[in-house]
Structure 1
Amino acid sequence: MTGSHQVPGDTKHPPLRQRWWPRGWLGQPLPGGLGVPARLWGVLCPGLGRPCPGLGGFSARIWGVTARAGSGLAAPRPVSTQRGSRRAPGKVCSGGRAPGTAAPRDSEPPPPRSSGRGQSGAARRDQSGCTGVGALLPSARLTDRTGCRRGGARSRAVSLSYAEVGSGGARPPLVLLHGLFGSRVNFQSVANALVRRGCGRVLMLDARNHGCSPHSPMMSYEAMSLDVQHLLHHLRIPQCIVLGHSMGGKTAMALALQRPDLVERLISVDISPVSTACVSEFSAYIAAMKAVKIPDGVSRSAARQLADKQLQPVIQVPQIRQFLLTSLVDVQGRYVWRVNLEAISNHLADIMNFPMFHKPYPGPALFLRGSNSPYMSSKDYPEIRRLFPKANVQFIEGAGHIVHQDKFEEFITAVLNFLPPP
């Protein structure tokens, strides 16, 4: 099952054409002589299969857009609404990748595999089985619950890559969202431990511009929340429990505040719904990562050693360097950063801040704070209480910012104690 599965158009029973719609080109009048250009009704480019906004969700194919020889316009194919077969535990899925790729492990990703496509415009596969590193995959156009689009612009969601472990259970699935510069593999050990202890179904997501998910120039919490909404809709998940660390925690909070009906409860790990004053620190990280130069054809261990040595003058903490190096991947013999450094750099202020919300989230919320971390403070509590009136703040003694790494067992216990009864 993939994030944007499509089915072919109906060629056996073609739509109305000719006298109702003499041509298939964009800009032609609609059937019945309404005289409205097709492009204004959301008829889109070939093969995207998007619905026509403002027409009740009907696809452009129903309205008589047909493929004509030499017209350059093919009948858009509607997104399938068929429910896929049950996914096996550990299944890795991606919006731009066929199923069957094994989930990357915590330690060593599998070797690169060829995608079978040519060089030009090809989807590439990196060491962890990702395709399209740096590529922008087809994205869905979403609106909020009221159907509004701010300023007349359409919000866009990308098809997130995700991995899934566990199955069944009466409680809603648990969705894990990683932090800045991370990927879903950061939560692999956490997900496995939770499943072993009866948590049920757990999904680990790669945020846009991270991991195996598509790259996009936009990097805001509203956009990242829409990405999660898009995936939940595709997987037919009516409600989930969402857990996010750092940037993922802010995405989780934005999702709960935008769509409280989708979130049964919320866990935010070492982050608050306020501005985080670390812009200069992360800017230095990005500059250092951009400056890394690795010769082609070297081994993975040698590449990591070279990158680590080049990062050391700017990033003195070894744990931070090792964390960043998890995003250094081999793509066809050349080492690149899997994260979209350009987009992150351009939107770093947005990532450090948090959007303004007025209506609080009515569900239960847990804020797990590392006692040794500077990312949360008692000054944040009034804003936490305003937006999450049922929130509980819990300290994990001896943990820094990456709570689930520093105090793994205490973290797992706190999460399990907060989950609803199975």
Structure 2
Amino acid sequence: MTNLAMSALCRILTRGVYCSPSSCLSVTGLRHFCSGVSTAERAASPVSLTYDVFDGKGDSTPLVFLHGLFGSKSNFHSIAKSLVQRTDRKVLTVDARNHGKSPHSPVLTYKAMTDDLTHLLGQLHIGKCVLIGHSMGGKVAMTTALSQPSLVERLVVVDISPSLTSVQTSFCAYIQAMKEVKIASNIPRSTARRLAEDQLRKIVKERSVRQFLLTNLEEQNGHYGWRVNMEAITNHLEDIMGFPAFNTTYEGPTLFLGGSSSAYISSEDYPEIQRLFPCADIQYIPDASHWIHADKPLDFISSIITFLHS
């Protein structure tokens, strides 16, 4: 990011566009972001991501799925199995750093997550793939395509844009709700899950969202906690809600797939999408929220297959 862009973004952040620092953002993290500490972040080593492979019989370019904030590789398992059956392609689903079973790190920037993905693709000898990313994963996919276009044959960005994510999003509230959950030790998992949901219900009204967040509840030695790295997410929420500055473009076929009931891809985002992704097509799936693949899996799969054949 250029110094000018960094300065502009920091002015926006310090005016509180995202949310009140007292509610979810670490003031220390904000100071570090705005004072140029990112030099250390740029030098951070990639982590070895966990992933699942669904083997297809064909030789076509593999599909790689990247989940969103608080998600995991299992979010796309049923989608991956269906796509293997219908396309014969190999499909990978990947846990981002600080999520699922991937290692934790204090750094959670799009450059770091892109470096992780590049490292994984190199380990697996995948020289080119179709990248499909939802929300935070969509921003990782865009960052990868813009910085290393030779790795990306096609790009699917699910319900997110290359812009600052609006303050209207609820992730600040989700983080606060998760941090406030307290569960006694040495109780049955079913009881722990019910207690956690009861506590989340005060802030997280939608049952589907509570169920999604609860996929991160884990037990270790009788103690319950969240498997995601809450500290790193809190300290880097401004990075996650933002997007790196690029003067390059990705010229490959690109599909932006939004939910018609979601506000994450709006007409205000179209100019920036067209600037960075000149071959982009923007489509919406009817009656789908931000979690399109969970709301409308058949429509989601059909859209991807049609795009692969276009």
TM interval, short-chain normalised: 0.7 to 0.9
Query: What is the rounded CA distance, in whole Å, between the counterparts of 2:287 and 2:101 in structure 1?
Result: 32
Please tell me whether the aligned partners of residues 199 and 416 of structure 1 are also in contact (alpha carbons under 8 angstroms). Answer: no
SS of the residue 2:251 aligns to: coil
Which residue pairs with 2:283 in the alignment? 394
Matches within 5 A, 1:226-265: 226-265=115-154
Which residue pairs with 2:248 in the alignment? 359
Residue number among 374, 377, 389 corresponding to 2:263 in the alignment: 374
Please tell me whether the aligned partners of residues 279 and 349 of structure 1 are also in contact (alpha carbons under 8 angstroms). Answer: no
Query: What is the rounded CA distance, in whole Å, between the counterparts of 1:263 and 1:153 in structure 2?
Result: 22
Deviation at 1:376, TM superposition (A): 1.0
AA in 1 matched with 2:81: N
Which residue pairs with 1:308 in the alignment? 197
Q: Deviations over 1:281-324 (max 9, x none)?
A: 32221121111111111111111100001111111111111110
Please tell me whether the aligned partners of residues 163 and 272 of structure 2 are also in contact (alpha carbons under 8 angstroms). Answer: yes
Query: What is the rounded CA distance, in whole Å, between the counterparts of 2:256 and 2:88 in structure 1?
Result: 19
Which residue pairs with 1:215 in the alignment? 104
Does structure 1 residue 318 correspond to structure 2 residue 207? yes
Query: What is the rounded CA distance, in whole Å, between the counterparts of 1:152 and 1:304 in structure 2?
Result: 35
Q: Deviations over 1:7-37 (max 9, x none)?
A: xxxxxxxxxxxxxxxxxxxxxxxxxxxxxxx
- 149-158 or 392-401, larger mean C-alpha shift: 149-158
Deviation at 1:392, TM superposition (A): 0.5
Does structure 1 residue 284 correspond to structure 2 residue 199? no
The percent of aligned pairs where both chains have the same amino acid is 53
- 270-279 or 384-393, larger mean C-alpha shift: 270-279
Which residue pairs with 1:132 in the alignment? none
Of structures 1 and 2, the one scoring higher in RCO (CA 8 A, sep 6+) is 2
SS of the residue 1:156 aligns to: coil
Residue number among 246, 258, 267 corresponding to 2:156 in the alignment: 267
Query: What is the rounded CA distance, in whole Å, between the counterparts of 1:316 and 1:150 in structure 2?
Result: 40
Please tell me whether the aligned partners of residues 68 and 136 of structure 2 are also in contact (alpha carbons under 8 angstroms). Answer: yes
AA in 2 matched with 1:181: F
Q: Deviations over 1:160-192 (max 9, x none)?
A: 000011234222110000000010111011101
User: Taking structure 1 as reference, are residues 385 and 305 closer, same or farther at Cα in structure 2, changes over 3 Å only?
Assistant: same
Q: Deviations over 1:80-132 (max 9, x none)?
A: xxxxxxxxxxxxxxxxxxxxxxxxxxxxxxxxxxxxxxxxxxxxxxxxxxxxx
- 5+ residue gaps, structure 2, are 1-37
AA in 2 matched with 1:308: E
Matches within 5 A, 1:28-47: none
User: Taking structure 1 as reference, are residues 388 and 199 closer, same or farther at Cα in structure 2, changes over 3 Å only?
Assistant: farther
Query: What is the rounded CA distance, in whole Å, between the counterparts of 1:260 and 1:211 in structure 2?
Result: 27
Deviation at 1:334, TM superposition (A): 1.3
Deviation at 1:273, TM superposition (A): 0.5
Which residue pairs with 2:82 in the alignment? 193
Query: What is the rounded CA distance, in whole Å, between the counterparts of 2:206 and 2:298 in structure 1?
Result: 24
AA in 1 matched with 2:75: N
Residue number among 218, 223, 227 corresponding to 1:338 in the alignment: 227
Query: What is the rounded CA distance, in whole Å, between the counterparts of 1:198 and 1:151 in structure 2?
Result: 42
Which residue pairs with 1:36 in the alignment? none
Please tell me whether the aligned partners of residues 56 and 85 of structure 2 are also in contact (alpha carbons under 8 angstroms). Answer: no
Does structure 1 residue 407 correspond to structure 2 residue 269? no
SS of the residue 2:87 aligns to: coil
Please tell me whether the aligned partners of residues 174 and 203 of structure 1 are also in contact (alpha carbons under 8 angstroms). Answer: yes
Does structure 1 residue 206 correspond to structure 2 residue 98? no
User: Taking structure 1 as reference, are residues 151 and 165 closer, same or farther at Cα in structure 2, changes over 3 Å only?
Assistant: closer
Higher helix share: 2
- 283-292 or 158-167, larger mean C-alpha shift: 283-292
Deviation at 1:280, TM superposition (A): 7.2
- 181-190 or 329-338, larger mean C-alpha shift: 329-338
Deviation at 1:353, TM superposition (A): 0.7
SS of the residue 1:330 aligns to: strand
Please tell me whether the aligned partners of residues 279 and 348 of structure 1 are also in contact (alpha carbons under 8 angstroms). Answer: no
Query: What is the rounded CA distance, in whole Å, between the counterparts of 2:180 and 2:190 in structure 1?
Result: 19
Which residue pairs with 1:83 in the alignment? none
Which residue pairs with 2:55 in the alignment? 166
Which residue pairs with 1:293 in the alignment? 182
Which residue pairs with 2:11 in the alignment? none
Query: What is the rounded CA distance, in whole Å, between the counterparts of 1:199 and 1:416 in structure 2?
Result: 11
TM-score, reference length from structure 2: 0.85
SS of the residue 1:241 aligns to: strand
Please tell me whether the aligned partners of residues 57 and 88 of structure 2 are also in contact (alpha carbons under 8 angstroms). Answer: no
Which residue pairs with 1:97 in the alignment? none
Please tell me whether the aligned partners of residues 267 and 366 of structure 1 are also in contact (alpha carbons under 8 angstroms). Answer: yes
Q: Give the superposed CA RMSD.
A: 1.7
TM-score, reference length from structure 1: 0.63
Deviation at 1:153, TM superposition (A): 5.7
Deviation at 1:278, TM superposition (A): 3.4
Query: What is the rounded CA distance, in whole Å, between the counterparts of 2:95 and 2:256 in structure 1?
Result: 22
Q: Deviations over 1:233-277 (max 9, x none)?
A: 001111110000000000000000110010001000011100102
